[in-house]
Structure 1
Amino acid sequence: MFFHKKRNVNGLLLLDKPKGISSNNALQQVKSIFKAKKAGYIGTLDPLATGILPICFGESTKFSRYLSESDKKYHVIAKLGEKTSTSDSDGVIIKKRPIVFTALQFYSSIKSLIGSIDQVPPMYSAIKYNGISLYKYARQGLDINRNSRKISIYNINSINQKNNFFEFEVFCSKGTYIRTLVEDLGEKLGCGAHVIFLRRIKVGSYICEKLVTIYDLNKLLKKDNIKHNSFFKNIDDLLMPIDSPISFLPEVYISSEESYTFKLGKTIDCCSNIENSLVRVKEKDKEFIGLGKINKKGLLIPYRLVSTVTN
């Protein structure tokens, strides 16, 4: 039946991941709704977390790593005085301590976490050890030695600390574990802490204004008659262009003749003041062709091309 036929879907969807499911579970639901042949998400969010989960479809997956390397911003609420097995409220409380720090200690502890810091990834993470995710070892009660990673915390602001809760926004580099950040702060304060609310509110230049929920998609699914393709048209209209993951890169426009040569994987002369940089290459009619690099000699070199696909 047509309903079950997989499609070539291309583009980027900014999903508002719901609380209580894994990022992969959210991806599989969206992929099923779109009947997409190929899709992947950028930047894992914990089951507890909500917010921006970029999902790349088809040809857009070729450029996903550039967005995954982008900085992120989170809205966080943490509870003080309790340390849990997972560093968030999904785990069990393993230690309780009194809250006795001063306001000065609180702000100086926060200040010490801003900048370039070393962070040890948590056991409850998707990082692999010997091909197996760390969280699988953690569920067996095993603690694997992990190397620290260098991350950057650019800012921690909008702080509201009251009783045993504190709320803030953190702007950070890729690879930052907010649960670990909160747990480290709890240790600096001598009372322990864990995350009870986590929402990703920015990925690269993308903010929450363009988010689509799984509920939105299912609502369209029930409303439209799929036999007339109205559903697919409506959900495909929600997608951002294939080159959205690299929207921060400059654009270069070439002629149809140059495009033909470029698509063959051949270098072409480029009349641009850009040099030694990756660029988004488009034809004069603004069709995205792929990722290229302009060298110091002004030559445009094919780097990653978009394939011509049909359903």
Structure 2
Amino acid sequence: MQPAHTTRGRLIHWARILLVVAVVVAAGYALWSNHEVVQETLAELSWRDWLPSFLALPVAILLSTWSWQLLVDELGKPIGVARGAQIFLVGQLGKYLPGSVWAYLLQIELGRRAGLARARIFTATLFSLAVAVVAALLAGSLVLPGFIRDYEDLRNLVWLYLLLPIGVVCLHPRILERLVALGFKILRRPQRDHPVRARAVALSLAAAVASYGFFGLHLWLLVRGVSDVDGSASFLLVCIGTMAIAMISGLFFFLLPSGAGVREVIIVTALAPTIGAGEAIALAAVSRVLIVVADLLTAACAAGLGWWERRHYGPIPHDQGVDDDEV
């Protein structure tokens, strides 16, 4: 029986490696496919314009990582920032493959390799999606009335807000606790030593909202680099709401790699009346490429930091029932 187990383990190991390679190649292709329009637009931008915009992205990505990790730590022993970032950031590169489910599967497998029960990562990821949707809808409410009023093609976005009351109810700690207990019972996992706390859920939601704030700041700084648009706080709020709606809309078009096309349509529609359609299209492409680069850099840094932590401090304590032979 041992050789069969070893063979299965090796197959799983190589499947993980192939999946990571595939998602990195897909992310690289997304970067290369937009290089011409990006080069033209970057020629109009000085480094003083695009560099601050780019620097806002790692902050946004790390805030979304923290939002996820708060929920993971709530379902078991804390795993540490380095290990959590490695699981989340490397795993989320799966979104660049057609079908967003790859990102979640990769996160589950990376968590399993780190000694975390699949039920724990799956549950935390599911709840983090609910948090992300609620946060995006809250931030998106800054621009949704204008979208509905001025753009007939975007009026269907109002249906997204049917999810808001459902999401808010699902984020109540008592509801979360019952769902977690049921899920762990079905999957035959030991229950946690404390219930889901309101503080953790509130912090996770606040981190997600702040993440969209920095994504919006990224877009606002890009726009200011190519246009004399008003740099007031009101236009910054428009950019925050636009990025929130654009990114969460891409989530529902899960067959497209990282919501390709959907996000750009919303950004262009929001910016075109202010800066013109041509520049809006170019900035949407530049924004996507900068986000791809930021995803790759933060994932690479997280992978390196996780490797360093494991080498110097050893593996994190495994969840109950998860053995070294299984990861």
TM-score normalized by structure 1? Answer: 0.32
Higher relative contact order (CA 8 A, sep 6+): 2
- Greater Rg, structure 1 or structure 2? 1
Compute the TM-score of the two structures, normalised by the length of structure 2. 0.31
Q: Which is strand-richer, 1 or 2?
A: 1
